[in-house]
Structure 1
Amino acid sequence: MRKERKMRGFTLVELLIVLLILGILIGLAVPRYLTALEKSRETTFCSNVRSIISAIETYRMNQGTQYYPTDVDTIIASAAYFSQPPINPYTGTVMTPTTTLAGKGTFTYTATNNGLDYIITTNPTCGLQ
Protein backbone atom coordinates (compact mmCIF):
# COMPACT_ATOMS: atom_id res chain seq x y z
CA MET A 1 0.00 0.00 0.00
CA ARG A 2 1.39 3.31 -1.02
CA LYS A 3 0.90 6.48 1.00
CA GLU A 4 -0.02 9.53 -0.94
CA ARG A 5 1.56 12.73 0.26
CA LYS A 6 -0.38 15.93 -0.10
CA MET A 7 1.57 19.15 -0.54
CA ARG A 8 0.38 21.75 1.93
CA GLY A 9 2.19 25.10 2.03
CA PHE A 10 5.84 25.87 1.60
CA THR A 11 8.92 24.35 3.14
CA LEU A 12 11.13 26.34 5.48
CA VAL A 13 13.88 26.46 2.86
CA GLU A 14 11.53 27.94 0.27
CA LEU A 15 10.37 30.62 2.72
CA LEU A 16 13.97 31.48 3.64
CA ILE A 17 14.90 31.84 -0.04
CA VAL A 18 11.96 34.19 -0.62
CA LEU A 19 12.92 36.25 2.46
CA LEU A 20 16.54 36.40 1.27
CA ILE A 21 15.46 37.65 -2.17
CA LEU A 22 13.17 40.26 -0.59
CA GLY A 23 15.99 41.38 1.70
CA ILE A 24 18.33 41.85 -1.26
CA LEU A 25 15.71 43.83 -3.20
CA ILE A 26 15.01 46.07 -0.20
CA GLY A 27 18.75 46.53 0.35
CA LEU A 28 19.07 47.79 -3.22
CA ALA A 29 15.89 49.90 -3.26
CA VAL A 30 16.19 51.84 0.01
CA PRO A 31 19.47 53.68 -0.79
CA ARG A 32 18.11 54.65 -4.20
CA TYR A 33 14.89 55.89 -2.62
CA LEU A 34 16.78 57.99 -0.07
CA THR A 35 18.99 59.45 -2.81
CA ALA A 36 15.94 60.32 -4.91
CA LEU A 37 14.24 61.88 -1.87
CA GLU A 38 17.27 64.10 -1.17
CA LYS A 39 17.51 65.11 -4.84
CA SER A 40 13.81 66.05 -4.91
CA ARG A 41 14.25 68.20 -1.78
CA GLU A 42 17.20 69.96 -3.39
CA THR A 43 15.31 70.53 -6.65
CA THR A 44 12.25 71.88 -4.81
CA PHE A 45 14.42 74.16 -2.65
CA CYS A 46 16.25 75.60 -5.67
CA SER A 47 12.98 76.08 -7.55
CA ASN A 48 11.56 77.99 -4.57
CA VAL A 49 14.66 80.21 -4.40
CA ARG A 50 14.27 80.99 -8.10
CA SER A 51 10.63 81.88 -7.46
CA ILE A 52 11.75 84.25 -4.70
CA ILE A 53 14.23 85.85 -7.11
CA SER A 54 11.42 86.36 -9.63
CA ALA A 55 9.28 87.92 -6.92
CA ILE A 56 12.14 90.28 -5.97
CA GLU A 57 12.48 91.37 -9.59
CA THR A 58 8.71 91.82 -9.91
CA TYR A 59 8.63 93.85 -6.70
CA ARG A 60 11.34 96.16 -8.04
CA MET A 61 9.46 96.67 -11.31
CA ASN A 62 6.16 97.26 -9.50
CA GLN A 63 7.80 99.89 -7.31
CA GLY A 64 9.23 101.62 -10.39
CA THR A 65 12.67 101.92 -8.85
CA GLN A 66 16.14 100.72 -9.62
CA TYR A 67 16.71 99.70 -6.00
CA TYR A 68 16.24 96.21 -4.62
CA PRO A 69 14.53 95.72 -1.27
CA THR A 70 16.62 95.31 1.86
CA ASP A 71 14.16 92.85 3.38
CA VAL A 72 12.48 90.06 1.40
CA ASP A 73 10.34 88.58 4.20
CA THR A 74 7.44 90.89 3.33
CA ILE A 75 7.71 89.95 -0.35
CA ILE A 76 7.66 86.22 0.48
CA ALA A 77 4.60 86.67 2.73
CA SER A 78 2.78 88.90 0.25
CA ALA A 79 -0.17 87.47 -1.66
CA ALA A 80 0.71 89.85 -4.51
CA TYR A 81 3.78 87.77 -5.40
CA PHE A 82 2.88 84.25 -4.22
CA SER A 83 -0.48 82.52 -4.13
CA GLN A 84 1.09 80.44 -1.36
CA PRO A 85 4.35 81.28 0.38
CA PRO A 86 7.15 78.94 -0.74
CA ILE A 87 7.69 76.11 1.74
CA ASN A 88 11.19 74.92 2.59
CA PRO A 89 11.29 71.18 1.82
CA TYR A 90 13.95 70.60 4.46
CA THR A 91 12.08 72.20 7.36
CA GLY A 92 8.45 72.29 6.25
CA THR A 93 8.20 76.00 7.12
CA VAL A 94 7.90 79.13 4.99
CA MET A 95 11.21 79.98 3.37
CA THR A 96 12.95 82.97 4.90
CA PRO A 97 16.50 84.19 4.45
CA THR A 98 19.02 83.58 7.23
CA THR A 99 22.12 85.52 8.19
CA THR A 100 24.42 82.52 7.69
CA LEU A 101 24.23 79.27 5.77
CA ALA A 102 23.62 77.12 8.84
CA GLY A 103 22.66 73.91 7.04
CA LYS A 104 20.77 72.46 4.12
CA GLY A 105 17.73 74.43 3.16
CA THR A 106 19.12 77.85 4.05
CA PHE A 107 19.72 80.91 1.91
CA THR A 108 20.96 84.42 2.50
CA TYR A 109 19.86 87.62 0.78
CA THR A 110 21.99 90.75 0.87
CA ALA A 111 21.26 94.01 -0.96
CA THR A 112 24.59 95.41 -2.20
CA ASN A 113 25.95 98.46 -3.98
CA ASN A 114 23.53 100.79 -2.16
CA GLY A 115 20.57 98.62 -3.16
CA LEU A 116 21.40 98.50 -6.86
CA ASP A 117 22.22 94.81 -6.72
CA TYR A 118 21.81 91.81 -4.43
CA ILE A 119 23.52 88.55 -3.59
CA ILE A 120 21.74 85.31 -2.82
CA THR A 121 23.75 82.35 -1.55
CA THR A 122 22.17 78.97 -0.95
CA ASN A 123 22.86 75.67 0.74
CA PRO A 124 22.62 73.42 -1.21
CA THR A 125 24.16 75.30 -4.10
CA CYS A 126 21.55 76.11 -6.73
CA GLY A 127 23.82 77.42 -9.47
CA LEU A 128 22.58 81.01 -9.17
CA GLN A 129 24.61 83.87 -10.58
Structure 2
Amino acid sequence: MRKPRNTGFTLVEILIVVVILGILAAIVVPQFTNASQQAIKGALASQLQTINSQVELYRVQNAGTLPTIAATEPNGGWGIMITNDFLKDEPNNGYTRSSNVSEAGYVGAPATDGSAAGWYYQTTTGEVFANGYNHDTNLLANETGYVALTP
Protein backbone atom coordinates (compact mmCIF):
# COMPACT_ATOMS: atom_id res chain seq x y z
CA MET A 1 0.00 0.00 0.00
CA ARG A 2 1.05 3.46 -0.78
CA LYS A 3 1.36 6.12 1.80
CA PRO A 4 -0.64 9.30 1.00
CA ARG A 5 1.61 12.20 0.08
CA ASN A 6 1.17 15.54 1.90
CA THR A 7 0.91 18.32 -0.67
CA GLY A 8 0.66 21.41 1.59
CA PHE A 9 3.08 24.31 1.85
CA THR A 10 5.98 24.24 4.24
CA LEU A 11 6.41 26.91 6.89
CA VAL A 12 9.45 28.29 5.06
CA GLU A 13 7.48 28.74 1.84
CA ILE A 14 4.69 30.59 3.66
CA LEU A 15 7.20 32.85 5.41
CA ILE A 16 8.84 33.73 2.09
CA VAL A 17 5.46 34.70 0.62
CA VAL A 18 4.63 36.84 3.69
CA VAL A 19 7.99 38.63 3.46
CA ILE A 20 7.49 39.34 -0.25
CA LEU A 21 3.99 40.71 0.41
CA GLY A 22 5.36 42.91 3.19
CA ILE A 23 8.02 44.35 0.89
CA LEU A 24 5.42 45.05 -1.82
CA ALA A 25 3.11 46.74 0.70
CA ALA A 26 5.96 48.93 1.94
CA ILE A 27 6.55 50.11 -1.62
CA VAL A 28 2.92 50.53 -2.76
CA VAL A 29 1.25 52.21 0.26
CA PRO A 30 3.39 55.39 0.17
CA GLN A 31 2.60 55.71 -3.54
CA PHE A 32 -1.15 55.85 -2.79
CA THR A 33 -0.59 58.45 -0.07
CA ASN A 34 1.47 60.58 -2.44
CA ALA A 35 -1.18 60.27 -5.16
CA SER A 36 -3.91 61.61 -2.85
CA GLN A 37 -1.69 64.53 -1.81
CA GLN A 38 -1.02 65.32 -5.46
CA ALA A 39 -4.75 65.20 -6.22
CA ILE A 40 -5.51 67.68 -3.43
CA LYS A 41 -2.77 70.02 -4.65
CA GLY A 42 -4.00 69.84 -8.22
CA ALA A 43 -7.58 70.54 -7.20
CA LEU A 44 -6.58 73.49 -5.01
CA ALA A 45 -4.39 75.00 -7.73
CA SER A 46 -7.23 74.72 -10.23
CA GLN A 47 -9.79 76.16 -7.80
CA LEU A 48 -7.50 79.07 -6.94
CA GLN A 49 -7.03 79.92 -10.59
CA THR A 50 -10.80 79.84 -11.18
CA ILE A 51 -11.70 81.81 -8.06
CA ASN A 52 -9.08 84.50 -8.61
CA SER A 53 -10.10 84.81 -12.28
CA GLN A 54 -13.72 85.23 -11.27
CA VAL A 55 -12.85 87.86 -8.64
CA GLU A 56 -10.94 89.76 -11.32
CA LEU A 57 -13.87 89.43 -13.72
CA TYR A 58 -16.16 90.83 -11.00
CA ARG A 59 -13.78 93.76 -10.55
CA VAL A 60 -13.75 94.50 -14.29
CA GLN A 61 -17.52 94.31 -14.59
CA ASN A 62 -18.05 96.51 -11.53
CA ALA A 63 -15.81 99.49 -12.35
CA GLY A 64 -12.85 98.34 -10.28
CA THR A 65 -14.84 97.49 -7.14
CA LEU A 66 -13.81 94.26 -5.43
CA PRO A 67 -16.51 91.85 -4.26
CA THR A 68 -17.41 91.67 -0.60
CA ILE A 69 -16.33 88.19 0.31
CA ALA A 70 -16.59 87.77 4.06
CA ALA A 71 -17.75 85.23 6.63
CA THR A 72 -20.83 87.40 7.25
CA GLU A 73 -22.02 86.85 3.66
CA PRO A 74 -24.34 83.92 2.85
CA ASN A 75 -23.03 80.63 1.43
CA GLY A 76 -19.97 80.54 3.68
CA GLY A 77 -18.91 84.01 2.54
CA TRP A 78 -19.30 83.44 -1.20
CA GLY A 79 -22.84 84.86 -1.44
CA ILE A 80 -22.13 87.81 -3.73
CA MET A 81 -20.09 85.67 -6.11
CA ILE A 82 -22.78 82.96 -6.31
CA THR A 83 -25.72 85.38 -6.51
CA ASN A 84 -24.11 87.24 -9.42
CA ASP A 85 -23.20 83.96 -11.20
CA PHE A 86 -19.44 84.34 -10.90
CA LEU A 87 -19.29 81.02 -9.04
CA LYS A 88 -21.68 78.12 -9.42
CA ASP A 89 -21.34 76.92 -5.84
CA GLU A 90 -19.20 77.37 -2.75
CA PRO A 91 -15.68 76.13 -3.50
CA ASN A 92 -14.65 73.40 -1.09
CA ASN A 93 -11.05 73.30 0.11
CA GLY A 94 -10.12 69.61 -0.10
CA TYR A 95 -7.36 69.98 2.48
CA THR A 96 -9.27 71.74 5.27
CA ARG A 97 -12.62 70.29 4.16
CA SER A 98 -14.23 73.71 4.45
CA SER A 99 -15.80 76.17 2.03
CA ASN A 100 -15.89 79.08 4.49
CA VAL A 101 -13.92 82.20 3.64
CA SER A 102 -12.35 84.68 6.05
CA GLU A 103 -10.54 87.95 5.56
CA ALA A 104 -6.80 87.42 5.32
CA GLY A 105 -4.94 89.32 7.97
CA TYR A 106 -1.82 87.21 7.67
CA VAL A 107 -1.06 84.68 4.97
CA GLY A 108 1.98 82.46 5.13
CA ALA A 109 1.48 79.77 7.73
CA PRO A 110 -1.04 77.32 6.28
CA ALA A 111 -3.67 75.60 8.35
CA THR A 112 -3.91 72.11 9.63
CA ASP A 113 -6.53 69.67 8.42
CA GLY A 114 -9.98 70.51 9.82
CA SER A 115 -9.44 74.25 10.18
CA ALA A 116 -12.57 76.45 10.28
CA ALA A 117 -11.66 78.46 7.18
CA GLY A 118 -11.08 76.91 3.79
CA TRP A 119 -10.16 80.15 2.05
CA TYR A 120 -8.71 83.56 2.87
CA TYR A 121 -9.57 86.70 0.95
CA GLN A 122 -7.25 89.70 0.81
CA THR A 123 -9.71 92.62 0.71
CA THR A 124 -7.16 95.16 -0.53
CA THR A 125 -5.89 93.15 -3.51
CA GLY A 126 -8.80 90.81 -4.18
CA GLU A 127 -6.59 87.74 -4.04
CA VAL A 128 -7.95 84.49 -2.60
CA PHE A 129 -5.67 82.01 -0.84
CA ALA A 130 -6.38 78.36 -0.06
CA ASN A 131 -5.93 77.64 3.61
CA GLY A 132 -3.39 74.84 4.06
CA TYR A 133 -1.84 75.25 0.61
CA ASN A 134 1.00 77.45 -0.56
CA HIS A 135 0.46 78.08 -4.27
CA ASP A 136 3.97 79.52 -4.66
CA THR A 137 5.72 76.33 -3.50
CA ASN A 138 2.89 73.87 -4.34
CA LEU A 139 3.10 72.39 -0.83
CA LEU A 140 0.41 71.42 1.65
CA ALA A 141 0.68 72.33 5.32
CA ASN A 142 1.45 68.75 6.37
CA GLU A 143 4.43 68.78 3.98
CA THR A 144 5.92 71.93 5.46
CA GLY A 145 5.22 71.53 9.18
CA TYR A 146 3.40 74.85 9.47
CA VAL A 147 0.83 75.41 12.18
CA ALA A 148 -2.78 76.45 11.66
CA LEU A 149 -3.60 79.84 10.21
CA THR A 150 -6.51 81.44 12.03
CA PRO A 151 -8.40 84.60 11.10
User: Are the equivalent residues in 2 in contact too, given 1:110–1:120 (CA < 8 A)?
Assistant: yes
Q: Which residue of 2 aligns with 1:48?
A: 47
Q: Which residue of 2 aligns with 1:34?
A: 33
Match of 1:92 among 92, 97, 100: 97
Listed one character per residue, the Cα deviations across residues 57-87 of structure 1 (whole Å, up to 9, x for unaligned) are 2222332x12223426334544712223211
Q: CA shift at 1:56, angstroms?
A: 0.5
Q: What amino acid sits opposite 2:121 in the alignment? A: Y
- Counterparts of 2:84 and 2:66 in 1: how far apart (Å)? 19
Match of 1:67 among 59, 65, 68: 65
Q: What amino acid sits opposite 1:45 in the alignment? A: L
Q: Which residue of 2 aligns with 1:103?
A: 111
Which structure has the larger Rg over C-alpha atoms? 1
Q: CA shift at 1:92, angstroms?
A: 2.3
Larger helix share, 1 or 2: 1
- Seq. identity, %: 30
Q: CA shift at 1:52, angstroms?
A: 1.0
Q: CA shift at 1:111, angstroms?
A: 3.0
* TM-score after normalising by structure 1: 0.72
Q: Which residue of 2 aligns with 1:125?
A: 134
- Counterparts of 1:34 and 1:108 in 2: how far apart (Å)? 27
Which stretches in structure 1 are left out of the alignment for 5+ residues? none
Check if 1:3 corresponds to 2:14.
no
Q: What amino acid sits opposite 1:33 in the alignment? A: F
Q: CA shift at 1:26, angstroms?
A: 0.5
Number of residues of Structure 1 aligned to a counterpart in Structure 2:
122
Let me know the Cα RMSD of the aligned residues.
Answer: 2.9
Listed one character per residue, the Cα deviations across residues 107-129 of structure 1 (whole Å, up to 9, x for unaligned) are 432233xxxx434455422139x
- Counterparts of 1:16 and 1:84 in 2: how far apart (Å)? 54
* TM-score after normalising by structure 2: 0.63
Q: What amino acid sits opposite 1:66 in the alignment? A: G
Which stretches in structure 2 are left out of the alignment for 5+ residues? 71-76, 138-151
